[in-house]
């Protein structure tokens, strides 16, 4: 019975990571692109194509959301590389740190 609970716990961890990195980051990217249109003005170029002029606040929101995406990707790469080096990433402090695996 202990084996089933351990398998379910591992599956839930994989599901959570998949949702965060697989679905969460594209959703944040979509929100960042949508944030560019908040309060933006639109005019047309001489050739008739529309041109968007985002506001400074919408650019700041977009930059913040894109920084969250870059941080998530960097964290994911760090976790993969750390496991290959025989280390784990811990969040004991605010900053993620690499420590040796406990044996």
- The whole-number pLDDT of residue 65 equals 96
Q: Determine the pLDDT at residue 55.
A: 92
Burial bucket for residue 66 (CB in 10 Å: 0-12, 13-18, 19+): middle
Contact call for residues 81 and 94 (beta carbons, < 8 A): no
d(CA 71, CA 66) in angstroms, rounded, equals 9
pLDDT of residue 103: 66
Question: Which structure tokens are listed for 101?
Answer: 């695996």
pLDDT at 1: 64
26-77: pLDDT as tens digits: 999 999 999 998 888 888 988 989 888 999 999 999 999 999 999 988 988 9
Instruction: State yes or no: pLDDT of 91 exceeds 90.
Output: no
């Amino acid at each position: 019975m202990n084996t089933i609970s351990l398998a379910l716990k591992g599956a839930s961890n994989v599901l959570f990571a998949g949702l965060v990195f697989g679905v969460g980051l594209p959703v944040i990217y979509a929100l960042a692109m949508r944030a560019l249109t908040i309060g933006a003005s639109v005019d047309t170029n001489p050739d008739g194509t529309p041109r968007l002029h985002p506001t400074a606040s919408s650019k700041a929101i977009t930059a913040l959301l894109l920084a969250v995406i870059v941080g998530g990707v960097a964290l994911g790469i760090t976790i993969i590389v750390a496991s290959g080096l025989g280390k784990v990433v811990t969040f004991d402090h605010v900053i993620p740190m690499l420590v040796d695996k406990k044996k």
